[in-house]
A and B are shown apart, each in its own frame.
Chain A
């Protein structure tokens, strides 16, 4: 299964790295980190919010915005940060994804969306995230049916072999589901580099 990184992968890796670096370090971004029971967790916040409407002008309700941010926050922590820190497989993500999306991330897309089987961190875990910019789509009746959430995450850690880094950039698309908002689709790239890792740059979209 191991393949030499192609030129395309190098380009993707470069683009993800540059984009994450620029975005995460730009104004309004920065660290949203807190420690909980010894683990580092990210505390994501909403950035700009807008709605493209096929009907009358619409704004995204604060409650919906907060639910969306909560879902994305849980995804980042449960599917990325926690598996990196604990080196255990991600837990049950069914509350965060729609059934279709969950089926997809049980397949090849999992390697892009979930950070598992990375080197065991010995300390120095850092995490940065930009505020999540939200763009909604409203139907002709003014109901917001989809929302795209731009994620820009940069996680670093030290392992016995040195430091490694995981950068993730892209859009999660969320839809109302079961009384909340769940991840319905995605267009995300991930770049993993550093000691003990084969450089990987992968992208998944639905």
Chain B
């Protein structure tokens, strides 16, 4: 009964989110995000149908749609990066390099793991592969949030909602897949209720933040700082060196 309530609750929330997105024209501003919601709605309806009328196929459908949703979710991460840093070319450049470094590190780790245990890909459970993919997604979001914090990037209400909702969902997925992987049936039972309920909370975050259009704060000074970076960086380096000698003076003796 509870699982049915959660299931129908998420379908209703997704429909409401799409209707509001259509009415406020947010669909055209955040196309990747709404594409993701359309996909999740389709996925929920398909799963509901298969669960009731083709139960033997449910497991297969569940995991295959989960994989597709990870790839569609990557587009949401890219949209957060693209829209959030549109007015900040410097921070955008840093984010590109940081994400590239992160994906390279993930690739190296995956190759190293496979080299250590060549049978891993053949023997790994679906949950293990999915957890690894969600971890890369979580790390990308984590790196982006750190960058937003470091450069004090301020977001509008809509984009902030997309980031919070999707970030909460990915963090919840990583934790859920970790417990699913441990195989303890008591935990699995508990998490099988908590995970969809967690997703419903994320949907509520999205509905709350995307109820109406709120523009992102725009920077008006971008052109002023073009081609001046070397000078600014040199000045900062000089000031930090001053700070170090100031500290050294006190404790160095």
A binds B: no
